[in-house]
A and B are shown apart, each in its own frame.
Chain A
């Protein structure tokens, strides 16, 4: 189960639309909640580092960016929980290429962008044996989480 903050959903959708017809990508940052649910409090965009002519169907987040995002999450007292990217004019389902390049543990959120408008949003987790992606239900963050968790919302750059 992944719980997405409303602002994080807006960021993912708007980034998908902004990048269209190319793919956008970014980090999902938050913490673990009850029953191991991933509670995503921030979607943090990052540059798609693929060659310009490949960005319409591919994205890559460089290792250096990954290390910066982990450091940022640690600094905020949070964790790097996963990643998002867009599928321009393509369903919000993982491709074979997504699967080949995925790691277990993380959530992979995909937003379908049709003709420049963000549509379906899905989330997936790779099985530990790499047999395939498993769909992960998306929920909203309950008010009780915010009442119990004080998170510094001054999202500073590092």
Chain B
């Protein structure tokens, strides 16, 4: 079932410049994975070396962050919109 994924500006260069694409899947995680399979260059920005979504990548289903739903197992249906939104993090990392 096709679900729309809205892509943040920073990652559009890895998806032929498109602001949104449609992908298939029954869960949010499946849909994002299908998207990443279609555009392999985007994988390293979405997933860490263990294959998990990077901690700073947030996926919203409508207005709800899937972290507050069922995570990647959150069910999606035809016509749903998933929005990829980065949280921005950093810092010196120095010890006190």
- Whether A62 sits at the interface, judged by CB under 8 Å, is yes
A63 contacts B94, CB within 8 Å? no
Question: A54 CB to closest chain B CB, in angstroms?
Answer: 8
A94 contacts B90, CB within 8 Å? yes
Bits for B57-71, please: 1 = Cβ < 8 Å to A, else 0: 010100001000000
Please name all residues of chain A whose beta carbon is closer than 8 Å to the beta carbon of B14 when the two chains form the complex: 128
Closest to A55 in B: B91
Please name all residues of chain A whose beta carbon is closer than 8 Å to the beta carbon of B55 when the two chains form the complex: 101
| Segment touching A, from B22-30, B32-40, B72-80, B81-89 | B81-89
Please name all residues of chain B whose beta carbon is closer than 8 Å to the beta carbon of A87 when the two chains form the complex: 91-92
Interface residue range, chain B = 20 to 34
B44 contacts A130, CB within 8 Å? yes
| Segment touching B, from A7-15, A36-44, A77-85, A137-145 | A77-85
Closest to A23 in B: B91
- Whether A146 sits at the interface, judged by CB under 8 Å, is no
Question: B7 CB to closest chain A CB, in angstroms?
Answer: 11
A90 contacts B9, CB within 8 Å? no
- With A106-B10, A130-B45 in contact, is A25–B88 under 8 Å at CB? yes
- With A60-B87, A60-B88 in contact, is A90–B94 under 8 Å at CB? yes
For window 77-107 of A, CB contacts with B under 8 Å fall at: 79-80, 83, 85, 87-90, 94-98, 101-106
A103 contacts B91, CB within 8 Å? no
B10 contacts A105, CB within 8 Å? yes
A129 contacts B44, CB within 8 Å? yes
Which listed residue (A67, A85, A88, A103) contacts B45, Cβ 8 A?
Answer: A103
- With A80-B9, A103-B11, A106-B10 in contact, is A66–B96 under 8 Å at CB? no
- Whether B18 sits at the interface, judged by CB under 8 Å, is no
Please name all residues of chain B whose beta carbon is closer than 8 Å to the beta carbon of A89 when the two chains form the complex: 94
In angstroms, Cα B41 to Cα A9, docked, is: 34
B44 contacts A57, CB within 8 Å? no
- Whether A1 sits at the interface, judged by CB under 8 Å, is no
A-B interface, 8 closest residue pairs, ranked by CB to CB distance from nearest: A105-B10, A58-B91, A98-B90, A63-B58, A61-B88, A97-B93, A101-B89, A63-B85
List the interface of chain B (C-beta within 8 A of A). 8-11, 13-14, 41, 44-45, 55-56, 58, 60, 65, 85-96
List the interface of chain A (C-beta within 8 A of B). 23, 25, 50, 56-63, 66-67, 79-80, 83, 85, 87-90, 94-98, 101-106, 108, 128-130
